Amino acid sequence: MTTEDEQPKGIQLTPLDDAYRENPYKILRHIQEHSPAYYDEVFGRYIVSRHDDVQSILRNRDYWVDGRKANPGTFPQKLMDLTEEPMMISMDNPDHKRLRGLVTRAFTQKAAEAMRGRVRQIAEELLDSIQESEFEFVTRFAAPFAISVIANMMGFSRKEDQAHFNDWSDIFMNAIFSVGASEEQRALGKEVQGKLRDLFMHEIEAKRLQPGEGLIADMVGAQEGDERLSDGEIVRMCELVLIAGNVTTRDTLGNGLKALLKHPAQMQKLRANPKLMPNAVEEMLRYDCPVQASGRIPSEDTVVSGCPISKGEFIYTSLAAANHDPRTYPDVDKFDIEREDVHHHAFGGGSHFCLGAILARVELQEAFAALLARYRTIAFSDQGYQYDRVPNFRGLAQFWIKVET
């Protein structure tokens, strides 16, 4: 029996660790079996890994997400910049409810479906620009596709604006999410954040003069009773959408394509029956989710899987582990695009369920449909693939493929 003291902690549960980066699910399964809830004193957090525990915590409205409410010495207090006003994902009610209510209109099923044609067009235009039979998938397709969709959704039509977004969002994300970020990286992140804010403020002012379409225009005009969004709130929402909407879609495209190539029978099944695409996308999200965890802070003392956790401590709910819990999913490690129960926690849960989940599903469905329609065969290249090293995210930094039309 493995004791709690022998369980992985700190960097060992991030892609900065070689073993975890290559196969986190093997490590997380061991945790589930032996210590489903335990304390990681290195980062000041409790690790929770079983599906039902994760689901219960995410759905509990009495838990906080604002790191400023966490106890001294906990993960948010030690490793996060809590000097700025939080993004919406780190807000508690009533602020979270007010802000979410004002921006929800841009993220409805109707709004996402209205973008479906443009999403498919972006995918096909990118594929038109790729003439090689062997290319690096992330930089040539996944990243520019994800950023183009988000830029269009926000209302940025100028290519010169879109050109900055991918690099800037990566720099910003590495600075604020990476526990291993150097002072130089954090300084560069602040510099890039300033450039993004200048760009967003310019667009906010432009939309006031000539509203137009897109998320920024919607937020500028958003009103509920006497409530409006401040410029600062709009900027923070733009930062969140840029990072969350760009990186997660890009990573799921790489993770999902890799899963299909590792399971050619599933790829053939999808080619033969395109109606399986929505289910296939859900299985991709369950099987290898881009966001690996979500944090919560109990507002009172609690117990999780026999582990007592005090008010104000930080709970790291492992979404990746929950999605691979054999207690919940039959043949849990099997990639099956016809899986009957494809519910998962890739988009978090509860009142903080990902606001952009509907659009993300449309993006993934149309991107994979375009890829399969364009290429008769897709295969691994001898140049291989390499995972990124950003903690709490799982995605490929490089992924070389070979194709035939």
Boundaries of domain holding 272: 4-404
Q: What is the mean pLDDT of residues 299-312?
A: 98
Q: What share of the chain is helix, strand, coil (3-state, %, to 5)?
A: 55, 15, 30
- Largest separation between any pair of C-alpha atoms in the chain: 66
Mean local confidence (pLDDT), 153-179: 74
Full-model pTM: 0.93
pLDDT at 40 over 50: yes
- Segment 69-94 shows an average pLDDT of 86
User: What's the pLDDT at 79?
Assistant: 75
Per-residue pLDDT at 168: 80
Residue 1: the pLDDT is 42
Helix axis angle for 357-374 and 264-272, nearest 10°, is 90
Q: Is the pLDDT of residue 279 over 90?
A: yes
CATH classification at residue 34 = 1.10.630.10
Across the range 265-292, mean pLDDT stands at: 97
Which residues in 150-184 are b (16+ Cβ under 10 Å) and which e?
A: bbbbbbbeeeeebebbbebbbbbbbbbbbbebeee
Residue 134 confidence class, pLDDT cut points 50, 70, 90: very high
Question: What is the predicted pLDDT for the residue at 299?
Answer: 97
Asked if residue 20 lies in contact with residue 8, where contact means CB atoms within 8 angstroms, the answer is: yes
314-361: pLDDT as tens digits? 999 999 999 999 999 999 999 999 999 999 999 999 999 999 999 999
Q: Write down the mean pLDDT value for the chain.
A: 91
Q: Is the pLDDT of residue 158 over 70?
A: no
Residue 192 has pLDDT above 80, yes or no: yes
- Confidence grade of residue 243 (pLDDT, cut at 50, 70, 90): confident
Identify the pLDDT of residue 2.
Answer: 54
Residue 47 · residue 304 · CB < 8 Å: no
Residue 247 has pLDDT above 80, yes or no: yes
The answer, yes or no, to whether residue 263 has pLDDT greater than 90, is yes
Q: d(Cα 363, Cα 396) in Å, to the nearest integer?
A: 18
Please give the single-letter amino acid code of residue 199.
L
Q: Give the DSSP H or E segment for 402.
A: strand 396-404
Which residue did the predictor score with more confidence, 162 or 328?
A: 328
Give yes or no for residue 64 having a pLDDT over 70: yes
Q: Which long-range contacts (CB under 8 A, 24 or more apart) does 78-83 make?
A: 78/43, 78/44, 79/43, 79/179, 80/176, 81/176
Q: For residue 269, how far is the Cα from the chain centroid?
A: 27
Which range, of 12-16, 21-25, 215-219, 259-263, averages the lowest pLDDT? 215-219
Indicate whether 65 pLDDT > 70. Answer: yes
- Other CB atoms within a 10 A radius of the CB of residue 70 amount to 24
The pLDDT of residue 212 = 82
> For 146-163, what is the mean pLDDT?
81
Q: Is the pLDDT of residue 159 over 80?
A: no
State how far the alpha carbon of 312 is from the alpha carbons of 34, 73, 352, in Å.
Answer: 25, 11, 19
List the beta strands (DSSP E) in 28-168: 37-40, 45-48, 134-136
- The answer to whether 180 touches 202, Cβ cutoff 8 Å, is no
Residue 113 predicted with pLDDT over 90: yes
pLDDT at 85 over 90: no
- pLDDT of amino acid 157: 65
pLDDT for 270: 98
Which band of pLDDT confidence, cut at 50, 70 and 90, is reported for residue 4?
low
Residue 85: CB atoms within 10 Å: 14
Whose structure tokens read 């590495």? Answer: 174
Per-residue pLDDT, 194: 87
pLDDT band of 3, cuts 50, 70, 90:
low
Phi, psi of 299 (to 5 degrees): -85, 0
Residue 172 pLDDT exceeds 80: no
User: In the predicted model, what is the mean pLDDT of residues 287-313?
Assistant: 97
Nearest-angstrom CA–CA distance, 251 and 396: 6
**182: helix, coil or strand?**
coil
For residue 209, the one-letter residue type is: L
* Listed residue (14, 91, 29) closest to 326, CA to CA: 29
Express as a percent the part of the chain with pLDDT over 70: 94
Supply the pLDDT for residue 376: 97
Q: How many domains does the structure of the chain reveal? A: 1
With the C-alpha atoms ordered 332, 335, 340, 346, is the resulting torsion angle positive or negative? positive
Q: Work out the pLDDT band at 196, boundaries 50, 70, 90.
A: confident
CA dihedral over 214, 220, 221, 226, signed as positive or negative? positive
